[in-house]
Structure 1
Amino acid sequence: MQTPSTLQLVAAIVLTVTSVQAQTRPAKASSTAKVVFTPKLPEFTMSRAEVEGHMRFLASDELEGRRTGEQGNRVAARYIAEQFRQLGLKPAVTTDGQHDYLQPITFERVKAASTATMIVGKDTLQLGKDILVMAGGPTSLSGEVMYIGYGLTDGEDGYKGRDVKGRILIAQGGSPEAKSPREIFGASAAKRKLATEKGAAALIELYSEASPWGLVSQYLNREQMSIATPGASSTPIAHLWINNANNKYKQLKEAGQRITLQTSGRQRVSAVSSNVAGIIEGSDPKLKDEYVVLSAHFDHVGVGKQGGAPYQPADSIFNGARDNGIGTVAILEAAKALTLQRPSRSILVLALTGEEVGLQGSRYYAEHPLVPLKQTVFDLNTDGAGYSDTTVISIIGLERTGAKAEIEAGAKAFGLVVFAEPAPEQGLFDRSDNVNFAAKGVPAPDFAPGFKSFDAEIAKYYHQATDNPESLDFNYLLRFCQAYAHSARLIANRPTRPQWSAGDKYEAAAKALYGY
């Protein structure tokens, strides 16, 4: 659909939301009236109108899908920052003596390759069907290949004692440990970095991993974004994947094999986005030096072809109300409740960018934390694909991360039931921003809207142009925000830190981080 200019309408919508907030504040009592006060925590008096106002702005057409690096994403970040300012949160970012809520991140927007062919023996491999371009500029080369195993380390996997400068390297796809898409792509980036440092001409991986070729092909044949590496080469080496299903191209591991490669490469353009972070100081003199992070990603997938799913000409905007407008509104409402009555520990409220382009904002934060990770005792992330059951809240990592009792109590207070580990076959724990905290050792479950499986109701809205505010159950959204805020309060008030379950795969990282 045609949309008005973002900049023309932002001011009007912000004023509307601010007006709603003002209208929902309790009026001052008359000086002559007898008032009986019943103490209530602020989350119990949360306003549906305010929740709805935040959502209708953040998931509005004017923000054009909040895609990382685009204007709508920057407007959303500014809106969140000004909500933090209005609530009195302390800016978490200090640069050159200046304080701000925005943690800027420089991204590279990488366009999909338009052409690529590779000749292997008598076969001519084609872009999409047989090969995928991961990185590199326009390339035309021919020569003998060198097999380097996984190609992950300097001393092993075929590199040891060999000069690879100017050579075409063949590597086994993935790594012995890589199971999830995140781990596979991470291993691939590490291989490219090492091959580039060693002066190779090209890197080609033999892909035969669990994630279907069709899915990775669909993903890589559209625009990608990654965090720019300071001082990195402006044009990385040519890096491709070959569809090696059934070990079809195993001959490339043998000495003396030759290939011819031509590719348009992938054009790279700089783009800037920001995480948004504010601090609520804890009320306990001892515990206030420990932090509970409340995180949610505020980006979505954009407009039209950017969205990666079918759309109608009348509505090409992927509004992202469920994913992740719900989570973003939840951290805003929790910030207000916890400001009005501060918990024992300090709170870092963290709105993350770049989740939809590979969990990039949370990865950047984990490498550049605004409060020490050693003092960060928990991350209560909130993200989800949507909801299909308004009686429950779904928690990914409930049994693993040490705050089960507090989360269950937080949900129960608002008439909701906790459903643990929905859709286990999806590997959801490692598919949201919480995993970048977990990898550093911080206990980090995901607090998601209610669902038990990826059913038709979830699919109807997940990454679809139909995911707009008009389709939401705002009564459920209100209770979801209340349960999230109350759970956060209970966790921040715990006398002891939550800890990973014994034997969890992230327990070792926690021991290294916290020293226990």
Structure 2
Amino acid sequence: MKHLLSVALTALVLTGASAQTPPAGKKPRTKIGTTVLPLPGRPELAISQAEIEAQIRFLASDELMGRRTGEPGNAVAARYIAEQYRAMGLKPAGDQGNYLQPFSLDKIGAAQSAMLLIGTDTLRLGKELVVMAGGPTSLSGNIIYAGYGLTDGEDGYKGQDVKGRIVVVQGGSPDAKSPREIFRAASEKRKLAAQKGAAAVLELYSESIPWGFVNQYFSREQVNLPVSEKSTAPVTHLWINNANNQYKQLKQTGQAVTLKTSGRAQTTVATANVAGIIEGTDPALKNEYVILSAHFDHVGVGKQGGSAYEPSDSIFNGARDNAFGTVAILSAAKALSQQRPKRSVLVLALTGEEVGLLGSTYYASHPLVPLKQTIFDLNTDGAGYNDTTLVSVIGLERTGAKAEIEAAAKAAGLGVFAEPAPEQGLFDRSDNVAFAAKGIPAPTFSPGFKTFDEAIGKYYHQAIDNPESLDMNYVYRFCEAYAHAARLIANRTARPQWSAGDKYEAAGKALYGQ
């Protein structure tokens, strides 16, 4: 397998795809031999459909085994992207003078057993319990209730010594609504409990994510950012299905319980974002940056994928999600490097999106260019498409570059649909949110869809999401629209701004000193 990957990678990196006749309705391009020259003012038109298809076919090939973060196929994808940057002449932006931004993650296996005895009630793994973190544990004792377990205040640990004790906390937080916020609150509770010396944390779960989904999610391997620079085994942490407040007795300090769990085996794995810079041409504006971001990871193979699969096809190739978006940033990088815009552009391929937006979260805490000088993030990601006449933009109405995005789509013969499937809360479910939380305007530029329908569900996180099923002419037009939008935004006279009253507006004002 290693030899096969090496051969395939070498072939695609070193062999350029020849230009094709443009699709119907496109103006012909000037050629000298096999070199495609851009038309004046529009190097986006020089992007080759054949090259785009070759890149997607490599990134979503079986040989990359679903590009799961921390696995060899993901590392090969990162290397491939880095060498594409090198071929285009992008400036390395990585930590060590290359294109990679390496970091470590904790890989946590599924628990094999867990049991909680409360009086005459026995709660079991896979039914009423899920194990979130921790090693093998066997404890008996009286619990201490600590409210939400997030502070030292009245609704927390005030006046309570929990060292060596079993702590019970309420699920979520008063403000946690989205899955991301619920999981972040859980992580903060676990960290604070460990600081206070607790032996275990039992969290009474009654949040918006259905328990069936929670149960399924934690029956699989997870990958997380370490809670500290030196990764250590975290405190034992369980979620209890407390629908209808059925275990309200656990909110009473002094309740006797017995807890036994196999814990979750933990190892450390390496991964990396991939970053390159196109320097701007304007003497002043080149010190400002537009980020073009897309995640290149997917969900892996077999049970890792989290969905049903056939033995004959157990690889979750992720052509739509998100080889599609990765190739869009590569296409934009090529066009922008041929004719550089006024502002500088950071082309950022992110790992770890599928396991919790980890690459973008890491980048936001360890930026390669100053966040204060980063004026925009044009993220691209999607579950798929059901309308090839348009692009869908999550955050179009919120992030200040509507005119540029609409003009770019129109130039590629596409319409724009704003805020698709609002019930899904999509703005906070992709890598753009890590930038938005820091104050950077950050929409997600997605393949065309209006609703999550059968056409989306057929391929989303399914083993049949292969390159052969894509409409490559649509992928081509999408990439052209994305690249041109990036150019127009990077050439704007004024910075894009959050819409007045947006929940991220205050973060933007704090970041930019407004």
Normalising by structure 2, report the TM-score. 0.95
Identity of aligned pairs, percent? 69
User: 1:23 Cα shift?
Assistant: 5.6
Q: Indicate conservation of the 8 Å contact 1:6/1:72, yes or no.
A: no
The secondary structure found in structure 2 opposite 1:461 is coil
1:75 counterpart residue number = 76
- Equivalent position of 1:123 in the other structure: 121
Aligned to 2:158: 160
Matched, 1:141 2:145: no
Change (3 A) 1:267 1:497: same
Structure 1: how far apart are the matches of 2:409 and 2:229?
A: 47
Of 191, 215, 224, the match for 2:222: 224
Cα shift at 1:6: 4.2
**1:288 aligned residue:** 286
Q: Secondary structure at the match of 1:323?
A: helix
Deviation track 1:197-248 (CA, whole Å, cap 9, x = no partner) reads: 1101111111011111111111111000001244556221111111000000
Q: How big is the shift at 1:159?
A: 1.1
Shift of 1:41: 1.2
Are the aligned partners of 2:13 and 2:84 in contact in 1 as well (CA < 8 Å)? no
Provide closer, same or farther for how the CA distance between residues 29 and 271 of structure 1 changes in structure 2, counting only shifts above 3 A.
closer
Q: Are 2:17 and 1:21 aligned?
A: yes
| Number of residue pairs aligned between Structure 1 and Structure 2 | 504
The partner residue of 1:407 within 400, 405, 408 is 405
In the alignment, the residues of structure 2 paired with residue 389 and residue 276 of structure 1 have an alpha-carbon distance, to the nearest angstrom, of 30
Which residue matches 2:491? 493
Tell me which residue corresponds to 2:242.
Answer: 244
CA distance in 1, matches of 2:403, 2:115: 56
1:65 is matched by which residue type in structure 2?
G
Residues 149 and 170, structure 2, Cα contact 8 Å, conserved in 1: yes
Q: Structure 2 CA distance, aligned partners of 1:295 and 1:7?
A: 30
CA distance in 2, matches of 1:38, 1:371: 32
Q: Does the Cα contact within 8 Å between 2:385 and 2:448 map onto a contact in 1?
A: yes
State how far apart, in whole Å, the 2-side matches of 1:37 and 1:215 are.
Answer: 49
Residue 7 (structure 1) shift: 3.3
SS of aligned partner of 1:44: helix
Task: Map Cα deviations across residues 479-512 of structure 1 (whole Å, 9 max, x no partner).
Answer: 0000000000000010000010001000111111
1:288-334 alpha-carbon deviations (Å, 9 max, x no partner)? 00000000000000111111111111111100000001000000000
Answer yes or no: is 1:10 the counterpart of 2:11. Answer: no
Q: Which moved more, 1:12-21 or 1:271-280?
A: 12-21
Segments of 5+ residues of structure 1 without an aligned counterpart are 31-35
1:445 deviates by: 0.3
Query: Do the aligned residues in 2 keep the contact of 1:17 with 1:53 (CA within 8 Å)?
Result: no
Amino acid at match of 1:494: R
Aligned match of 1:332 in 304, 307, 330? Answer: 330
Is residue 417 of structure 1 aligned with residue 415 of structure 2? yes
Q: Does the 8 Å CA contact 1:355/1:362 hold for their aligned counterparts?
A: yes
CA apart distance, 1:18: 4.1
Q: 1:38 to 1:60 in 2, by over 3 A?
A: closer
Aligned counterparts of 2:120 and 2:33: Cα–Cα separation in 1 = 86
State the SS of the aligned residue for 2:378: strand
Displacement of 1:65 after TM fit?
0.4
Matches within 5 A, 1:451-466: 451-466=449-464
Alpha-carbon shift at residue 121 of structure 1 (Å): 1.8
Q: 1:182 to 1:90 in 2, by over 3 A?
A: same
1:66 equivalent in structure 2 = 67
The 5 A counterparts of 1:459-478 are: 459-478=457-476
Secondary structure at the aligned position of 1:21 is classed as coil
1:297 alignment partner in structure 2: 295
Partner AA of 2:32 in structure 1? K
1:356 aligns to what SS in structure 2? Answer: coil
CA contact (8 A) 1:168 1:200 kept: yes
Q: Which residue of 2 aligns with 1:383?
A: 381
Q: Where does residue 33 of structure 1 map in the other structure?
A: none
1:432-468 Cα deviation digits (max 9, x unpaired): 0000000000000000001111111111111011001
Q: Tell me how far apart the structure 2 counterparts of residues 458 and 208 of structure 1 sit (CA, whole Å).
A: 29
Distance of 1:352 and 1:44 partners within structure 2: 26
Partner of 1:201: 199
Q: Which one-letter code corresponds to 1:354 in the other structure?
A: G
Give the CA deviation at 1:21.
3.2
1:485 to 1:231, Cα distance in 2 relative to 1, 3 A: closer
Equivalent position of 1:357 in the other structure: 355
Q: Report the TM-score when normalising by structure 1.
A: 0.95
Is the contact between residue 104 and residue 271 of structure 2 (CA under 8 Å) also seen in structure 1? yes
Distance in 2 between the 1:458 and 1:38 partners?
A: 36
Distance 2:495 2:443 in 1: 14
Q: CA separation in 2, counterparts of 1:405 and 1:282?
A: 21
Change (3 A) 1:12 1:187: closer
Unaligned residue ranges in structure 2 (runs of 5+): 21-28
Aligned to 1:50: 51
Give the conservation status (yes or no) of the 8 Å contact 2:172–2:205: yes
Q: Hey, what's the Cα distance between the residues in 2 that align with 1:205 and 1:37? A: 59
Amino acid paired to 1:112: A
Who is 2:340 aligned against?
342
